[in-house]
Amino acid sequence: QLQLQESGPGLVKPSETLSLTCTVSGDSISSSSYYWGWIRQPPGKGLEWIGFIHHSGNTYYNPSLKSRVTISVDTSKNQFSLKVSSVTVADTAVYYCARHWTASDAFDIWGQGTMVTVSS
Amino acid sequence: QSALTQPASVSGSPGQSITISCTGTSSDVGGYNYVSWYQQHPGKAPKLMIYKVSNRPSGVSNRFSGSKSGNTASLTISGLQADDEADYYCSSYTSSITRVVFGGGTKLTVL
């Protein structure tokens, strides 16, 4: 059974870089049918798509975050990662990794999410 | 402000049916059949309930159904149950540079 698990620091200082990793278990991240994405949710607010990546390295980013976001993939470890630079308190959120089912353009499997707080 | 517009809240009694709307534009909901719906219980990750407008993933109850007319998609839940109380989000492919858009979410209360 496919599972996704986010990991990374729960506290990041303003102006620093937020780094998270999503470990995929139960299937290969190298399947051509899927992209692997990040979505975040500020406390009490809705979902915001950050971006996603194919195992080939092809990426799509939310234009509103593109200048600060990098998503990468490590097929040898069956992981993909998120970096958000120059963070502010507005980046405080629960960060979810999820599998994006290309044929249906939907996120069909989600990680449990990890809370990241930006504070000095 | 979200790209897709949903009502902030809806409510219904057990056994009743409710419908949640999701309004976009011809660049997203109206132009493509790539609308999906997610259910999110408090403190939990979202769960895919409907994909490609009206398709249910394996394991999702047939009480959940989706449809679309013009620029508005809808999620209908029939035979409301207490466990249906949750937040619901729509999402769509968009031909704009944004690529993926979510609605602002709708809180469903089962009275």
pLDDT tens column, A23-43 = 999 999 998 899 999 999 999
Tokens, residue B102: 């979510």
Q: Are strands B9-12 and B106-110 parallel, antiparallel or unpaired?
A: parallel
Phi, psi (rounded to 5 degrees) for A102: -60, -45
Give the whole-number percent of chain B exceeding pLDDT 70: 98
Q: Please list, in sequence order, all residues whose beta carbon lies within 8 angstroms of the beta carbon of residue A44, skipping any fewer than 6 positions away.
A: none
Q: What is the pLDDT of residue A16?
A: 98
- In chain B, residues with a C-beta closer than 8 Å to the C-beta of A105 are 32, 34, 36, 51-52, 93, 100
pLDDT tens column, B1-33 = 568 999 999 999 999 999 999 999 999 999 999
Mutation pick from B33, B37, B41, B48 vs chain A, by most beta carbons of A within 10 Å, is B48
* B34 contacts A106? CB cut-off 8 A: yes
Q: Indicate whether A66 pLDDT > 80.
A: yes
* B36 contacts A104? CB cut-off 8 A: yes
* A60 contacts B99? CB cut-off 8 A: yes
B88 Cβ under 8 Å from any chain A Cβ: no
C-alpha span between A39 and A47 (Å, rounded): 7
Q: What is the pLDDT of residue B96?
A: 85
C-alpha span between A71 and A53 (Å, rounded): 7
The angle formed by the CA atoms of residues A62, A92 and B93, to the nearest 5 degrees, is: 25
Choose among A49, A105, A110: nearest Cβ to B45: A110
Could you say which DSSP state residue A90 is in? G
C-alpha span between B23 and B7 (Å, rounded): 10
Q: What is the pLDDT of residue A38?
A: 98
Is residue A6 within 8 Å of residue A111, measured between CB atoms?
A: yes
* A110 contacts B52? CB cut-off 8 A: no
Query: Residue B47, Cα to own-chain centre: how many angstroms?
Result: 11
Task: Give B35 to chain A, closest Cα distance, Å.
Answer: 8
Q: What is the pLDDT of residue B1?
A: 58
Tokens, residue B23: 């309004």
End-to-end CA distance of chain A: 39
Phi, psi (rounded to 5 degrees) for A4: -120, 140
